[in-house]
Structure 1
Amino acid sequence: MASRGLKVLPSGRAGRGRLYVNLPDGRAVAWYDRRANRISVLADERREEILTALRPYLTGTVAIGPPPVPTPAELLRLSLPPDEDLAPNRPGEALIGALTHGAAGARARHRLRQELTARQRMGEVLDALAESEDWRVLHSVGGIADHLLIGPPGVFCIRTVQGRRQRTSVGDLLLTVGRTDPTPDPRTARRAAAYATYALSAPVTPVLAVVDATRLEVTPTLRDVRVLTPPTAARFLQDTPTTLKPPEMETLYATARDRRTWLVAR
């Protein structure tokens, strides 16, 4: 929504997080924190314009004033152009585009739809975690991760696998679904986590998320790559020991959501 040149943009998927009021060049002049029900104004001379732009989103009694002293993560967010922000990405963003613009052949489209379903199902689980202030999630990250999750236990680079309602086995190097040829998903997950570790300058755990397998077998020697399913993911992540403090999480999230972070890494 726009009001006299101001644009209101969410800091993530619609309905979550903050709403930022930006100038046409992408610079923020205010934000509305829905959890705190507070508007932080950066350009007081535009206060009335800002209130007009935000009015459709406001509920109850809203506090208005200058922002608190910004954290380093907030400074990164304020300097991030909207076109470079990965936070609004949906699960399977690239697959949605491929299906929308057409893929060659019915078989290819069916495979894309299966993969999209897997990413969306895992995305729902991760988004539910992100409803809490303790977790941050990004989807479709720079061609590197299907999902990137940042929380108290650390950073997790997640690759989804469609089990296609068949027996799925995961080894140290290969993954097999039913009777299809093995694929190098464990190695791909490791490489993706290595990219993320370099880009973020922080340890990143590789994760394979297997969706819709009738039976999942994981070799006991596979210890560096976590293998999860949508029903087990939340409990595992919440039970993992804490390694990050909230300011560290926010700084990592601010860095990870910048598309340019991943271009430099590659």
Structure 2
Amino acid sequence: MSGLRVVPAYRHGRERLYVCRPDGSNAAWYDRETGRVNLLGEDCRNDVLQALKPFLTGPVTVGPPPVPTPVELARLTLHPDDDLAPNRPGEALLVALDRDPGPAHRLRPDPRRRALAAEEAVGAALDGLEGAGWHTLHSVALPGGDRIHHLLLGPGGLFAVHALYARKARVLIADPMVTVGRREAEPLLRRLRALADRASYALTAEVRSVLALVGPAGVTVTERPRAVRILRDTELTGLARFGGVLKPADVEALHGMARDRRTWGRV
């Protein structure tokens, strides 16, 4: 076989080098991250390896494409409208602000924009854990108008993370009440425990609550809250230290279930 050409492409954040025939069809692809050359036919092995020779780094495995796992098959068959994985941090707020930006001039800042800033800051911190075996889903809508700001899944378990804007304000936490600056106290911790319980029911796995405070001037906790972890946004990366709760295959299976919008319709 002659005339093979190598075409780089990106799929699911990974770089792949496709080996294409003159007619444009694929003969193989090389996944640099896994070091594997996936052949679509044994008859072209030598020609494919010759074409890829300038691009191969280190030892590689050569063979037919691996059989998809049940989790991969479920992901491949998931309709894009039902896939929550592409959600941006604060997705629901971004959509709401796009539909109704509010008046151009306000005496006070739009509270939705402060809430969005908090979700974006927390979301960025959680997304930074992706390479350590963790996944984050943002803005998971629940029936009745409730929403989980961020769902973190990884070796240390599952966490429903709620972002709270507290820039330069003092925060007082007296379970279940949370007071930010001079704002009126609200029973936020009670609501967060309820959201975690609903998520646990949907995923048939324990989900723990985390309240992430964004930019507080100080935090006072009168007593340790029940079943809610209180963290500053700068402390969220510490969640990656937890492990030994879920195996990688369990994390992938739960992530596949959680990213399906239909999973949350029954809670």
Q: Same fold (TM over 0.5)?
A: yes
Alignment match, 2:69: 71
User: Whole-Å Cα distance in 1 between the matches of residues 108 and 10 of structure 2?
Assistant: 35
Q: Deviations over 1:149-196 (max 9, x none)?
A: 001110001111111320011221111001110122111111110110
Q: Label 1:76 to 1:209 Cα distance change in 2 as closer, same or farther (>3 A).
A: same
1:124-143 superposed Cα distances (whole Å, 9 cap, x missing partner): 110110133x1111111124
Q: For 1:191 and 1:31, how far apart are their aligned partners in 2?
A: 47
Asked if 1:91 corresponds to 2:89, the answer is yes
Which residue identity is paired with 2:97? L
Aligned to 2:34: 36
1:48-59 to structure 2, matched below 5 A, reads none
Give yes or no for contact 2:129–2:240 (8 Å, CA) kept in 1.
no
Partner of 1:56: none
**3-state DSSP of counterpart to 2:33:** coil
Write the deviation string for residues 60-112 of structure 1: whole angstroms up to 9, x where unpaired: 55999743132222122122111111000000011111222224443686211
**Does the 8 Å CA contact 1:156/1:207 hold for their aligned counterparts?**
yes
2:82 and 2:261 in contact (8 A); partners too: yes
2:5 alignment counterpart: none
* TM-score, structure 2 as length reference: 0.75
**3-state DSSP of counterpart to 2:253:** helix
Shift in alpha-carbon separation, 1:9–1:191, aligned structure 2, 3 A: farther
Q: Of 244, 247, 253, which residue of structure 1 is paired with 2:249?
A: 247
- The reply on whether 1:186 has 2:186 as its aligned counterpart is no
The structure-2 alpha-carbon separation of the partners of 1:63 and 1:81, relative to structure 1 and needing over 3 Å to count, comes to farther
Shift in Å, 1:224: 0.8
Q: TM-score by structure 1 length? A: 0.75
Contact 2:202–2:264 (8 Å) recurs in 1: yes
Within 2, Cα distance between the matches of 1:65 and 1:190?
Answer: 49
CA distance in 2, matches of 1:206, 1:126: 14
Q: In the alignment, residue 257 of structure 2 is paired with which amino acid? A: T
Equivalent position to 1:198, from 201, 208, 217: 201
Asked if 2 retains the 8 angstrom alpha-carbon contact of 1:147 and 1:157, the reply is yes
CA contact (8 A) 2:141 2:148 kept: yes
Q: Distance in 2 between matches of 1:200 and 1:31?
A: 35
**What secondary structure sits across from 1:91 in the alignment?**
coil
Q: Contact between 1:89 and 1:139, CA under 8 Å: does it hold in 2? A: yes
Partner residue in 1 for 2:164: 161
CA contact under 8 A between 1:10 and 1:88: conserved in structure 2? no
Tell me, yes or no, if the aligned pair for 1:171 and 1:186 is still in contact at 8 Å.
Answer: no
- The letter of the residue matching 1:141 is V
* Equivalent position SS for 2:224: coil
Aligned to 2:128: 128
Cα gap change, 1:86 to 1:103, in 2 (>3 Å): same
**How much has 1:238 moved relative to structure 2?**
2.4
Q: Give 1:239 deviation, angstroms.
A: 2.8
Unaligned runs of 5+ in 2: 1-8, 17-27, 42-54
Q: Return the index of the structure with the highest Cα Rg.
A: 2
Q: Compute the displacement of 1:230 (Å).
A: 1.6
1:3-42 equivalences in 2 (<5 Å): 11=12, 16=13, 35-36=33-34
8 Å CA contact 2:137, 2:151 repeated in 1: yes
Aligned CA RMSD, in angstroms, stands at 2.9
In structure 1, stretches of 5+ residues that fail to align are 1-7, 20-29, 46-59
When structure 1 is superposed on structure 2, of 65-74 and 77-86 the one drifting more is: 65-74
Does the C-alpha gap of structure 1 residues 217 and 18 become closer, same or farther in structure 2, counting only changes over 3 Å?
A: farther
